[in-house]
Structure 1
Amino acid sequence: MDGSGAGTNTGKRPNERLSSWFVRSGWSKGELARQVNRRARQLGAHHISTDTSRVRRWLDGEQPREPIPRILSELFSERFGSVIAIEDLGLRTAHQSPSVSGVDLPWAGPQTVSLLSEFSRSDLMLARRGFLGTSLALAAGPALVEPMQRWLVPTPGAELARPEAPAAPRRGRLSRPELELLESTTVMFRQWDAQCGGGLRRKAVVGQLHEVTDLLQEPHAEATSRRLFKVAAELAELAGWMSYDVGLQPTAQKYFVLALHAAKEAGDKPLGSYILSSMSRQMIHLGRPDDALELIHLAQYGSRDCATARTQAMLYAMEARAYANMGQPSKCKRAVRMAEDTFADAGIDAEPEPDWIRFFSEAELNGENAHSYRDLAYVAGRSPTYASLAEPVMRRAVHLFGQDDEHQRSYALNLIGMATVHLLKKEPEQATGLASEALTIARRVRSERVNTRLRKTVDTAARDFGDVAEVVHLTDKLTAQLPEAAEAV
């Protein structure tokens, strides 16, 4: 054994799937080998030492051992901005227990607590960068959507189990003030994320989640148990969101799935719809708008009778994003109008709002709708018509976020979005000015999502307008001030 991931060598049938992705990537065999080795070191798999001859054998049909298949899946997914599963690469995955792989998990309280505890502990202890060893892979398509549909299915036997509960209310060591403190701490973590990005406090959120799962294993009155499950759901969603923000996509998806399970135990359908919207946003980011739309429709159906107008407006805005990325302008525009109309109702009704939806302000509404029009412009081949639709709405979002010190990451993302609109309109000077402002904020927040979008926007400007002095200056400035991805914590 040379520790480089050697496995079964079929010897007769080249791996055409892996070869196809490899050719499209533009990588050389040496570059792919170096990236595999670098990622393996990040995972703590220091025994792996891959070289060009080993890559050639994989292309020839050799089946590498774990963790190589999962590393290759991550690398190609990041390269193409969409989910490239192990099977898509013509590779076989090792058998794993449901606790660490996949999203089709048991919908039951004790199992949810156990899985949350195991996963958060693994995140804290086993992986310095949040990859949880080599155990995770992204799910997509029916493998993701179909298990999530069971969110709305009543738990078998739940009604029959209730009469067996003790007559006297069960008491744990958690007092009401302590429970309220847990809830307020979750609000504080959410504020930190909005201000500073996901990279600064992610492990603190995961640690708090693990503490809550310990509490959930103690006896409590039913009302207390439901509130604890709600806290666990919010913390797991936030851990997933922070993981997504720093680029840990499989880890993020796992937290989202577990958060949805906890929300089901809490009996909180609006919270469940919010978690599904986060999953939908991740699928759009990964180039899976069809999956995003399925998740949003599931969220809308599940919370249609209980979500506030603000939550429903947010779901319509995410529906518009999915339709935009699917290249369906009429459905996208309809969803945008529904988001605007429903958001207007939120101010009239003055319903009590949970803290997790308060982020969806007028600024956020404008930002989402502007990005929908911007995405339509790209899907339609850089359409100037859709870029013109996006511009005034994005300008409004930038203006509103510029007055809000609590949502600096969103401000940066919308500055970048406005820069892309100006690039679509062939206005590189205006685009570079906005991107430069975003760079200033990017250096303050710990968000790989901001960094990646900024780099991509500047790369586009350099490719299309490389002879413009402002673009050259910004490219040099970006290289000097944002040289590489910040390490997740």
Structure 2
Amino acid sequence: MATTRARDGGSADEQEPDNGRQPNDRLAVWFARSGWSKGELARQVNSHARAMRAPHVSTDTSRVRRWLDGEQPREPIPQILAELFTRRFGRVVGIDELGLREPDEPHGDFGVDLPWTFETVVEILGEYTRGDLLLGRQEFVGPALRLAAGRDLVDPLRRWSAPLPATPMPVPIPLPVQTSTAEGGVRFLRPIPLPASAPDRLRDAVRLFRRWDMQAGGGLRRKAVIGQLNGLTDLLRDPHPAGVRCRLLGLTAELALLAGWMSYDAGLQPGAQKYMVLALHAAKECDDAPFGANVLGVMARQMIHYEMAEDALDLVHLAQYGSRDSGGAALQAMLYALEGRAYATVGKVDRCRRALGLADQALSDSRPDTEPDWIRYFTRAELLSESGHAYRDLAYTRPAFVAPAKERLAEAVRLLAGTGEFVRSLALAHVGLATVHVIEREPSAAVEEAAAALDIALRVRSERLIVRLRRTVETLAARFADTPAVRELAARVARELPKAPFPRP
């Protein structure tokens, strides 16, 4: 009698040797808590496998029993089981928690220090995006996640600037898809090739997501970006020609950074950092140093937000070094501007001025039509906003910087209002200008700018904007409590502005 192989990699009608395996107690506990029968779990595995384009997976109650007895199923079944139990219990259930992987292997709860490999990008991004999509905001962030900082953050990222290995990593060749024939034999199917137009369509989707973020804030479309990123990691599991795989990795890097940026804007700070780290890894795998430098710049911005200026400077300097031979003028201008912001935070006036001067010079050399799409947002208006905020930070203790801060932020507001595109940036510039008016004790002008920011904040979903606006209005109300316009604005903010769910520590 001919023996056919079961579609998940085992024998359909032969008893496999025990090899001394022990019952899988971890899986048994989760299975018992679920309330499912073996048949129901088998049906859900098969249904989920079809949904994720794995038609070769077909299991039954006897196979489930063998998993409980200690048999280790082949991919993608561990991934499917983890996802099913995650949905069942409303929390991320890792593959290792099911006893289906050694605890020291990579999984969704990862740190900054990751192996610089293609497999790292695909496996961890796939698992992390699934957890993000399946769980709510509180469950996904959780109390255990913390923002990495100091040497724990910077030292592992220094390896980004090291050259790639001289020999490229071979493209993995997956096993052919195996199905049973009506006669009980076996036939093999070729993987479906990726349409030639797919990378271009994905590129258009990334650009659309980027515009959505600028116009509506990171909180509104974040889940759509995460879903597209999850689908892209699935594509990377398939074999592709080297050029196609490099393009897909580049798009993965862009989407991962956008997911991180949107998470940052929505107040999901530890998750944002994790997406950014994975974006840096993806950029490294496709040898895109300029985009990797851009990722480090965004990570530096997050550190500035938390007043960790030394970490921000380390990240900016690493980005400048790694892109010294390949970064365009707009990228270098953005990095110099962030350097100036970081120096202003720690009160280093001369270094701040020098960095902002270099940013002005670099941007004047930029040709927007030759810059990549991901840096085209960094226009004259954005640079004025960055330098205005830097001088505003200096003005808190040095009144001489009030005038240059006000001049730059006012011009940034004028330019941004004329585009109709950079809506959140316009609101943040209004908030920055309001704080300058508070410093120079002009409550009426501060109310006008803050009210303009409030009108925008009610239309976009940006926790970052809400926190900054609320803090500015609170300061304004504390200093000018006797001014009717200030009291009216404070009451309106308390009444209309949603409370930010993740206040800055």
Counterpart of 2:150 in structure 1 is 141
Q: What stretches of structure 2 of length at least 5 have no aligned partner? A: 1-88, 92-102, 174-189
1:436 partner letter: A
CA deviations over 1:319-343 (Å, ceiling 9, x no partner):
1001111110000000011000111
Q: Deviations over 1:389-435 (max 9, x none)?
A: 21111111010011121111000000000000111111111000110
> 2:388 matched to 1:370?
yes
Change (3 A) 1:44 1:398: same
Shift of 1:176: 2.1
Aligned-pair CA distance for 1:436: 0.4
Is 1:361–2:361 an aligned residue pair?
A: no
Match of 1:451 among 466, 473, 482: 466
The answer for the alignment partner of 1:124 in structure 2 is 133
User: Are residues 165 and 117 of structure 1, via their aligned partners in 2, closer, same or farther at CA, if it must alter by over 3 Å?
Assistant: closer
Q: Once the two structures are superposed, what CA deviation does each residue of 1:165-210 show, in whole Å capped at 9, x if it has no partner?
A: 89xxx98621221110001100000000000000110000000000
Q: Which residue of 1 aligns with 2:195?
A: 175
Structure 1: distance between partners of 2:374 and 2:328? 12
Letter in 1 for 2:246: R
* 1:286-325 superposed Cα distances (whole Å, 9 cap, x missing partner): 1101000000000011111111111111111011001111
Q: Using the alignment, how far apart are the partners of 1:413 and 1:325 within structure 2?
A: 18
Q: Are residues 1:329 and 2:349 paired?
A: yes
Counterpart pick for 2:364 among 344, 353, 359: 344
Q: Does 1:246 find its partner at 2:266?
A: yes
Question: What SS does the corresponding residue of 2:136 show, helix, strand or coil?
Answer: coil
The answer as to 2:210 corresponding to 1:187 is: no
Rounded Cα–Cα distance in structure 1 between residues aligned with 2:492 and 2:394: 30
1:363 to 1:172, Cα distance in 2 relative to 1, 3 A: farther
Q: Deviations over 1:57-110 (max 9, x none)?
A: xxxxxxxxxxxxxxxxxxxxxxxxxxxxxxxxxxxxx99966413210110001
How far 1:128 moved relative to its partner? 3.8
Q: How many residues align?
A: 388
* From 398, 404, 417, the counterpart of 1:389: 404
**Larger relative contact order (CA 8 Å, sep ≥ 6):** 1
Q: Tell me: CA distance 1:401–1:95, structure 2 relative to 1, closer, same or farther (3 Å).
A: same
In the alignment, is residue 426 of structure 1 matched against residue 441 of structure 2? yes
- Which letter maps to 1:377? A
- Letter of the 1:209 partner, please give it: L
Change (3 A) 1:425 1:487: closer
Question: SS at 2:295's partner residue?
Answer: helix
Question: 2: CA distance between counterparts of 1:193 and 1:274?
Answer: 17
Following superposition of structure 1 onto structure 2, how do residues 89-104 of structure 1 map, counting pairs within 5 Å? Answer: 99-104=108-113
| Corresponding position of 2:163 | 154
- CA distance in structure 1 between the aligned counterparts of 2:301 and 2:346, rounded to whole angstroms: 14
The verdict on how the C-alpha distance between 1:428 and 1:150 changes in structure 2, with shifts beyond 3 A counting, is: same
Instruction: Determine helix, strand or coil for the equivalent of 1:154.
Output: coil
Is the CA contact 2:171–2:242 (under 8 Å) kept in the aligned structure 1? Answer: no
Q: 1:6 is matched with which residue?
A: none
Return the match for 1:308 from 321, 328, 341.
Answer: 328
Indicate how the Cα distance of structure 1 residues 110 and 435 shifts in structure 2: closer, same or farther if over 3 A, else same: same
- Per the TM alignment, residue 131 of structure 1 is displaced from its structure 2 partner at its CA by 2.9
Q: 1:386 deviation in Å?
A: 1.2
Q: Is 2:291 aligned against 1:291?
A: no
Provide the C-alpha distance between the structure 2 equivalents of 1:130 and 1:328, rounded to a whole number of angstroms: 41
The 1:95–1:435 alpha-carbon spacing in structure 2 relative to 1, beyond 3 Å, is farther
Q: Compute the TM-score of the two structures, normalised by the length of structure 2.
A: 0.73
Aligned to 1:48: none
Q: CA RMSD in A?
A: 2.3
d(CA) in 2 for partners of 1:128, 1:421:
34
| 1:60 aligned partner | none
Letter in 1 for 2:221: R
Answer yes or no: is the 8 Å Cα contact 1:171–1:220 preserved in 2: no
Alignment counterpart, residue 267 of structure 1, candidates 268, 282, 287: 287
> How far, CA to CA, are the matches of 2:105 and 2:237 in structure 1?
25
Amino acid at match of 2:395: A
Residue matched to 1:78: none
Which residue of structure 2 lines up, in the alignment, with residue 415 of structure 1?
430
Q: Which moved more, 1:173-182 or 1:205-214?
A: 173-182
**Within 2, Cα distance between the matches of 1:223 and 1:125?**
32
Distance 1:421 1:413 in 2: 13
SS at match of 2:146: coil
Percent pairwise identity: 48
Deviation at 1:251, TM superposition (A): 0.5
After TM superposition, the score normalised by the length of structure 1 is 0.76
Q: Which among 216, 220, 244 is matched to residue 236 of structure 2?
A: 216
